[in-house]
A = this chain, B = another copy of it.
């Protein structure tokens, strides 16, 4: 019914003021997210940007699109890191590659308050969300995980998406405390020891 869309809908718009508004909104959102988490009120973001709320909604129809825009190319960077670590597996070991990447992922989750809640639906299978900017990252993680399984570094009966959901959840568990990051790290280390542990070894510490 309507005229054909532009081939590159995410390209920079023609009008300078539109680009400027978008830039201001992203800066304002980043600042608001940093102070109040990803659930910062729309009115506050618009006020900081010096625009009306309607402009915010015009540029970013829903919360997820705003969060993703603020996140920018972080998911691509995480994907690149995963691919880089996959190549380095032979040198430093598949398990080390896994933990190194999950540290990066955990760091990403700590960027703003509320990130864990925001990402939860995306990490479900089947995904409730349309997978946001992170499809490629998830695929790269799957490759890294499969490599570790093939190398015998982690148990066979675990699924890659499970671990991501768990790491996300463990971050959620500790959010809002002064020592959130280190507590999340401790819980993640525990989980990773479980992932590393092979049932077939038949070795158990206790009775």
A residues with CB within 8 A of B: 93-95, 120-121, 123-125, 128, 148, 151-155, 158, 162, 165-166, 168-170, 172-174, 176-177, 183, 186-187, 189-199, 201, 203-207
From DSSP, what is the main secondary structure of chain A's interface residues?
A: helix
On whether A205 and B194 interact (CB within 8 A), knowing A165-B174, A173-B120, A187-B166, the answer reads: no
- The answer to whether A196 and B192 touch across the interface, beta carbons within 8 angstroms, is no
Copies in the complex: 2
- The answer to whether B169 and A173 touch across the interface, beta carbons within 8 angstroms, is yes
| Residue in B closest to A180 when the chains form the complex, CB atoms | B124
A170 partner residues in chain B, CB cutoff 8 A: 166, 169
- The answer to whether A154 and B190 touch across the interface, beta carbons within 8 angstroms, is no
Shortest C-beta distance, A174 to chain B (Å), equals 7
A174, B120: Cα distance in complex, Å:
9
Interchain CB contact (< 8 A) of A151 among B153, B172, B207: B207
